[in-house]
Amino acid sequence: MTSNVRRRALPVLAALTLALAACGGGGQDAEPPKPAVTVAVLESGPVTLRRELPGRTSAWLVAEVRPQVNGLVAKRLFTEGDIVEAGQPLYQIDDASYRAAANSARAQLKRAEATLVAARLTARRTGELVEVSAVSKQDHDNAVAALGQAEADVGAARAALDAANVTLGYARITSPINGRIGRSSVTQGALVTANQPQALATVQQLDPIHVDLTQSSAELLELRRSLAEGRLERGEEAMAVTILMEDGSEFQHPGALKFSEVAVDPRTGSYTLRVEVPNPDHVLMPGMYVRAMLGAGVRKDAVLVPQRGIARDPKGNTTAMVVNAEGVVEQRPVVVSRTIGDQWLVESGLAAGDRVVIEGLQKIGPGAAVEVTEEVRAAGAPAAVAPATATADAADAGDATDAAIPAGQE
């Protein structure tokens, strides 16, 4: 009986003990745990800023093959799509009439040369006879004049023969440049005319090849202003040009900037940049749409912040949550300009050494004490160059997009 009473009393005593303990500590509330966050520690370093511009490819040299004489196409002497060399015959036009004209001019030249020989002999004889008064001086003057006329006739006949040979040579149409020839617009037996508007074929030199880019004039002014103020510096690596194909792949041969247009197109507010790109395998063809990563300058002490750490309000203002030395969260206004991989390029508001919250943002607010569980370094090259997203500070992006690569890691 006694043991049963003891067993029933033990739970009651335990409950009373817990109740007394709870009442005894009621004067002091337990402190809630600090929310855990992950921060990115910002670092500064040199970054090569690049601009991604749209462009079209164009051939290095273009020659439209047209006839310079009239006639029927007797033969086509090339294979469409082949590589041809300068001076290589492409078409043969029926040249029977032109060959006859050349032969006639050659005969006229021989006649004039024979007349010249006779006139020269006559002038010589009259010269000897006039000295002994065997002929009159008037006869000698006539012989000398006839000699001069015969010499002029020979010159005219020789020029006529040269002209006939030139016309005869035009009957064989040759390639004016080295390059790849396209399809033929005529076949054997077609009638062609001198200087006709339709080209017989087109030869294009594709190695190297031109890439014509368009850039906003506002961007050019901003670039010059940044260079003048010292915010950007020119570097050798900043001038390299990388060509991106239509499928996003990178062309294996880098290009070089060769020409910048001296006038702005008033219709678009942009100007043209021309890039020369080696194209030994003829992968790039005229008319292709490509994009080019063009170096703009080097930012020596650039600060990059992960995109996850930047918030934007409905007005477009950007802010970041920063953990100070006391472990308290501060909300700081930030100005960013362009994306570099998965990071923003900071213009103002953040500096090297700042700890920006990138995980746990939903659990904190300004003034909250937090527990930093992990620190991530926010420096280094992005895994890939990505098009930038325009911000309020870079609104004049046009059709192009921004991108950048840390210097020395291209």
What does the alpha-carbon distance between residue 254 and residue 251 come to, in Å, rounded to a whole number? 7
Judged by DSSP in three states, 216 sits in strand
Confidence at residue 92, expressed as pLDDT on a 0 to 100 scale: 95
**CA 140, 145, 148 angle in degrees (round to 5)?**
130
- The whole-number average pLDDT for the span 331-343 is 86
Cis peptide before 176 (omega within 30 of 0): no
Hey, what CATH class is 95-170 in? mainly alpha
**CA 124, 125, 131 angle in degrees (round to 5)?**
100
One-letter amino acid for residue 269 of the chain: G
Give the single-character DSSP code of 128. Answer: H
Q: Which residues contact 101 (CB under 8 A, 6 or more apart)?
A: 164, 167, 168
- The whole-number average pLDDT for the span 358-386 is 71
> 401 or 286: whose pLDDT is higher?
286
44-58+206-406: in CATH 2.40.30.170:
yes
What tens digit of pLDDT does each residue of 120-166 get? 998 888 888 888 888 888 888 888 899 999 999 999 999 999 999 99
0.85 exceeded by pTM: no
Q: Which residues contact 250 (CB under 8 A, 6 or more apart)?
A: 242, 243, 244
Strand order in the sheet with 71-76: 172-174, 89-93, 71-76, 191-192
Judged by DSSP in three states, 387 sits in coil
pLDDT band at 105 (very low <50, low <70, confident <90, very high): very high
| Architecture of the domain whose range is 68-93+173-198 | Beta Barrel (2.40)
One-letter amino acid for residue 112 of the chain: A
Count of beta carbons in the 10 Å neighbourhood of residue 28: 7
Confidence at residue 363, expressed as pLDDT on a 0 to 100 scale: 85
**CA 311, 369, 23 angle in degrees (round to 5)?**
135
* Domain extent listing, the chain: 44-58+206-406, 68-93+173-198, 95-170
Q: Which residues contact 3 (CB under 8 A, 6 or more apart)?
A: none
What tens digit of pLDDT does each residue of 210-248 get? 999 888 777 667 666 666 655 655 655 546 788 989 888
Full DSSP string of 318-386: EEEEEE-TTSBEEEEEEEEEEEETTEEEEEES--TT-EEEEE-GGG--TT-B-EEEEEEE--S--SS--
What tens digit of pLDDT does each residue of 259-278 get? 777 778 788 888 788 889 99
Give the CB-side neighbour count of residue 5, counting CA atoms within 13 A: 2
- The whole-number average pLDDT for the span 101-118 is 94
Judged by DSSP in three states, 30 sits in coil
Confidence at residue 223, expressed as pLDDT on a 0 to 100 scale: 65
